[in-house]
Amino acid sequence: MLVIEIFDKFDAKFLEVYNLRKFLLQVKKILYPINLKIENQKCVVIGGGKVAYRKILRLLDSDAKVEVISPTVCTEIFQLAEQNKISLRLESYSAEKISTGLILIAATDNFELNKKILADGRAKNFLVNDVDGDGDFFVPSKIQRGDFLLTISTGGSSPAFAKFVRENLEAEFDENFGAGLEIISRYRQEVKNILQNHEDRKKFWRGILTPSMWKLLKNGELEKAEGIIKNALDSVGAELQNSTC
């Protein structure tokens, strides 16, 4: 009887924890971070105001093919159309006007319409972003220095806080980090050629990317940073040559 009682208590506790975890997952969805390649991909924006304009600029920054559908648009969006940077349809939205594409952004000032766009887009297999906070993904705040891209997201909880964090990190990650990444990228293939074992390459870069390297990048001492990589490569090459003699 004691054993049965213990198991009953265990089952009850397990169920309590399971239900709590299930509840928390429902309350706060866990996001999967991803950087998406959208070059030459069709992306559709529904809306013609300032919010839509900001969304359009982010898409254009990633070389997407942007189509905008709205009966009226702000001056900035109209100018983009005149410059042939976007395709503009001065029409009211209806589900029949979206067919294929990768991303659909609901950026109107009508809450109910945005929800309809969200449902229509999902039915047609778009990845949908809704400016009211729903949708399949959020567009994070970002810091970009060349190929170096740092994104900050609050999962839609507070875009203002994401902006606050970005503004405080921008000074920390200046253009030297983009230049530093470019230097490292140039040597990456050479390191692969010399060190064909993955673990050896990881060990090599761990020896390079140290707090000292961080300080060099922060101070803009890029020549010294590159010199450290060159010297390390020369040292590895010499060791390999000696080991084969």
Q: What's the pLDDT tens digit per position in 121-140?
A: 999 999 999 998 889 999 99
Q: Mean pLDDT over all residues of the chain?
A: 88
Asked whether residue 27 carries a pLDDT value surpassing 80, the answer given is: no
Asked whether residue 173 carries a pLDDT value surpassing 80, the answer given is: yes
Angle at 167 between CA 63 and CA 183, to 5 degrees: 60
Fold observed for domain 42-138: Rossmann fold (3.40.50)
Asked whether residue 2 carries a pLDDT value surpassing 50, the answer given is: no
- pLDDT at 31 (0 to 100): 86
The rounded distance, in Å, linking the Cα atoms of 1 and 3 is 5
Asked whether residue 9 carries a pLDDT value surpassing 70, the answer given is: no
Per-residue tokens: 187: 């040597």
Which is nearest to 70 in space by CA: 80, 62, 60? Answer: 80
Q: What is the pLDDT of residues 80-128, one digit of tens each?
A: 999 999 999 999 999 999 999 999 999 999 999 999 999 999 999 999 9
pLDDT-derived band of residue 14, with 50, 70 and 90 as boundaries?
Answer: very low
Polymer length in residues for the chain = 245
pLDDT-derived band of residue 157, with 50, 70 and 90 as boundaries?
Answer: confident
pLDDT-derived band of residue 7, with 50, 70 and 90 as boundaries?
Answer: very low
Asked whether residue 213 carries a pLDDT value surpassing 60, the answer given is: yes
Q: What is the DSSP code (8-state) at residue 219?
A: T
Q: Kindly report the pTM of this predicted structure.
A: 0.78
- pLDDT at 184 (0 to 100): 95
- pLDDT at 3 (0 to 100): 40
More confident residue, 30 or 78: 78
The rounded distance, in Å, linking the Cα atoms of 137 and 29 is 11
Average pLDDT over residues 146-164: 91
What is the DSSP code string of 134-191? Answer: -BS----EEEEETTEEEEE--TTS-HHHHHHHHHHHTTTS-HHHHHHHHHHHHHHHHH
Q: What is the DSSP code (8-state) at residue 95?
A: G
pLDDT-derived band of residue 243, with 50, 70 and 90 as boundaries?
Answer: low
- pLDDT at 244 (0 to 100): 63
Asked whether residue 8 carries a pLDDT value surpassing 70, the answer given is: no
